């Protein structure tokens, strides 16, 4: 009789754990997002997203630690806010901030030989957000 509740609990744990594992499609999106991050963001935000990239040294202010976005938002990744902020659709406290507005400049390092100025493919941006969500602490 005691085995049944233990078995049931174990099965539930296995099924719930499987639900949180990324699918092959999600893993591919995260991998592609990591490539985009490395090309477009790591110069300032650092290779791990903690704000210590080489280009940030002369900015006068440290770029934010991108691994703490969820921690600063009650444990939830603020996907829509991050999307709007990076695209330049949110009014910034400092209009002269070094953060580029990707809606205007596009993904220059991802598409150095093509794409119109300001071109950001929605799929690319979605993959970048998947990667940013994955690196949350």
CA pair distance 66, 97, nearest whole angstrom: 16
- The pLDDT assigned to 3 comes to 56
Of residues 118 and 65, more confidence is placed in: 65
Q: What is the pLDDT of residues 37-72, one digit of tens each?
A: 999 999 999 999 998 899 888 888 889 999 999 999
Place of tokens 């049944």: 4
For 84-110, give the DSSP string. Answer: HHHHT-S--S-TT-S---HHHH--TTT
Residue 57 token pair: 């040294």
Q: Residue 92: what are its φ and ψ, rounded to 5°?
A: -90, 150
Of residues 17 and 84, more confidence is placed in: 84
- The pLDDT assigned to 84 comes to 93
Going by pLDDT thresholds of 50, 70 and 90, the confidence category of residue 7 is very low
Q: What is the pLDDT of residues 63-81, one digit of tens each?
A: 999 999 999 999 999 999 9
- The pLDDT assigned to 59 comes to 83
CA pair distance 104, 82, nearest whole angstrom: 16
pTM to 2 decimals? 0.78
């Amino acid at each position: 009789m005691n085995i049944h509740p233990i078995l049931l609990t174990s099965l539930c744990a296995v099924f719930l754990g499987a639900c949180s594992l990324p699918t092959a499609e999600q893993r591919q999106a995260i991998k592609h997002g990591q490539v985009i991050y490395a090309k477009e963001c790591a110069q300032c935000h650092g290779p791990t997203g903690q704000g210590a990239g080489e280009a940030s040294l002369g900015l006068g202010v440290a770029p934010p630690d991108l691994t703490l976005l969820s921690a600063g938002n009650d444990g939830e990744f603020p996907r829509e806010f991050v999307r709007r902020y990076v695209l330049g659709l949110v009014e910034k406290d400092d209009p002269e901030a070094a953060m580029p507005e990707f809606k205007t400049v596009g993904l220059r390092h991802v598409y150095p030989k093509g794409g119109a100025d300001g071109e950001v493919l929605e799929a690319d941006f979605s993959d970048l957000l998947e990667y940013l969500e994955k690196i949350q602490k």
